[in-house]
A and B are shown apart, each in its own frame.
Chain A
Amino acid sequence: DADVTQTPRNRITKTGKRIMLECSQTKGHDRMYWYRQDPGLGLRLIYYSFDVKDINKGEISDGYSVSRQAQAKFSLSLESAIPNQTALYFCATRRSGASTEAFFGQGTRLTVV
């Protein structure tokens, strides 16, 4: 099984719909992140969480919300999806520490029509 699992892998939704992307990890890491990837822009941070009680906005949090249900689970919600939220979304986990690497899920390709 993958260390970081994202569901669904692909989703097409309509403008205005609420959608949730889920992420679970088996690494036992305390830090979890949600990124979106757009061509030519790299990965941009949406939200991050350093433990269950600690949620922080990233650089592009508008239109998104998150929930850290447990150390291993971190969900991203689009309250009212819009077409410019069409992107590839990645969840990542990382152990605390300056030099630790991040582990990424396989990504969720979201299309808003």
Chain B
Amino acid sequence: AQSVTQLDSHVSVSEGTPVLLRCNYSSSYSPSLFWYVQHPNKGLQLLLKYTSAATLVKGINGFEAEFKKSETSFHLTKPSAHMSDAAEYFCVVSDEADSWGKLQFGAGTQVVVTP
């Protein structure tokens, strides 16, 4: 069975400093991994996805994530936080063989950006 653990429920960063959101996953087969962002009172928007090609994935708005199979991790980073990055972030795993294409969400990480 697949599962996702986001290691931080809240992250607070200063504008201009790096952002790190940690995600560990469990999957029996070959997972696809996604990061979604949810701004207040909005739906979910895809930031980036890993699909067994390059392990370093670049997304929108300067975010990137690295897939590390040995550590079962897919951490999200951004070199310099912007005020507009304040939102909730979800790590998501999907394994076609293991879960018939269902998306399994982490509990979310709330990011606060201070001036």
Contact = CB atoms under 8 A, between A and B. Distances in A.
B107 interface: yes
Nearest to A103: B46
Chain A's interface size range is: 20 to 34
B6 to A, nearest CB: 8
Interface in B43-78: 43-46, 49, 51-52
Contacts of B25: none
B55 to A, nearest CB: 14
Interface residues of B, number: 27
B90 to A, nearest CB: 6
A104 B44 contact: yes
Contact of A45 (B30, B103, B108): B103
A94 interface: yes
A98 B49 CA distance: 11
A91 to B, nearest CB: 10
Interface string B4-47: 00100100000000000000000000101010100000111110
B49 to A, nearest CB: 6
Interface of B: 6, 9, 30, 32, 34, 36, 42-46, 49, 51-52, 90, 94-97, 100-103, 105-108
Given A33-B102, A99-B94, 13 more contacts: A31-B101, A33-B103, A40-B108, A42-B90, A42-B105, A50-B101, A56-B100, A58-B102, A97-B96, A98-B96, A98-B101, A99-B32, A102-B34
